[in-house]
Amino acid sequence: MSVLISPSLLAGDFSRMGEEAARIERCGADWLHIDVMDGHFVPNITLGAPVVKCLRKRTDLFFDVHLMISHPLQYAEDFVKAGAQMLTFHVECEDDTAETIEAIRSLGCRVGLSLKPNTPVETILPFLPQVDMVLVMTVEPGFGGQSFMPDMMPKVSAVRKAAPDLLLQVDGGISAKTIAQAAESGANVFVAGSAVFGAADPKAAIEELKTLAQSVIG
């Protein structure tokens, strides 16, 4: 199973987002994680589809768009048209989960389903056959730079047990100190904001994260 590192643009310089995306591509990132927050689903506001569209012109990285919004159904088409290649939404959002999965898929986009730290893993298990990826949040969504929650690891293991070949992403507090633990539990896609954009040498940071995860996954 391949290891993918998806640096989160949230930890980059928002005044020069295009350059940040291009820079992280040159540093060897596998994907680019783009955090969309609506100020309603989470207490923070970041960016919308017009920004994703502008970023699309600046990099060829795979766009891993994390929708922390109450109504993904309403905005899915805008984000796919803007260049999103994976749209991950939350099982706790206000739209119907099966309907939202179907809508994203019918737009020709890959679908990810995420759950917050207080949401039991059982809520997403019935949808595993319909999604391309599960994102187990390892912090409360809304802000970068928070501490990794090791008590989320049983959820990661449960998803991996139920779906041996699924892309399984973790997001929040992933660093050289925590990535091996997440990989041991079964994750293979790692979002890292501060650990990559905050590093003096982001290329070395990405390489280190990848090596640590690969040493577990093989």
Using CB under 5 A, list all residues that contact Zn ion: 35, 66, 171
35 in active site: yes
Whole-angstrom distance, CA of residue 57 vs CA of residue 200: 26
Task: Give me the least distance between CB of 8 and ligand DX5, in Å please.
Answer: 3
What, of Zn ion, ligand DX5, none, does residue 157 touch, CB below 5 to 8 Å by kind?
A: none
Q: 197 and 20 in contact (C-beta within 8 Å)?
A: yes
Considering beta carbons, is residue 69 or 104 the nearer one to ligand DX5? Answer: 69
What distances in angstroms separate CA 102 from CA 36, 62, 131, 145, 218, one per listed residue?
20, 21, 9, 33, 33
Task: Give me the least distance between CB of 44 and Zn ion, in Å please.
Answer: 11
Cα-based torsion angle of the residue sequence 213, 174, 185, 6 in order, rounded to the nearest 10 degrees: -60
171 in active site: yes
What, of Zn ion, ligand DX5, none, does residue 194 touch, CB below 5 to 8 Å by kind?
A: ligand DX5
Residues that bind ligand DX5 (CB under 6 A): 8, 10-11, 33, 35, 66, 139, 141-146, 171-174, 191-195
Task: Give me the least distance between CB of 89 and ligand DX5, in Å please.
Answer: 12
What, of Zn ion, ligand DX5, none, does residue 193 touch, CB below 5 to 8 Å by kind?
A: ligand DX5
Considering beta carbons, is residue 193 or 202 the nearer one to Zn ion? Answer: 193
Cα-based torsion angle of the residue sequence 73, 190, 64, 57 in order, rounded to the nearest 10 degrees: 160
Q: 123 and 88 in contact (C-beta within 8 Å)?
A: no
State which H helix or E strand residue 189 sits in: strand 189-192
Task: Give me the least distance between CB of 151 and ligand DX5, in Å please.
Answer: 16
Considering beta carbons, is residue 129 or 137 the nearer one to Zn ion? Answer: 137
Please identify which of the residues 30, 35, 38, 64 carries the catalytic annotation: 35
Whole-angstrom distance, CA of residue 196 vs CA of residue 9: 10
The amino acid that residue 155 corresponds to is: K
Considering beta carbons, is residue 68 or 166 the nearer one to Zn ion? Answer: 68
Tell me the catalytic residues: 35, 171
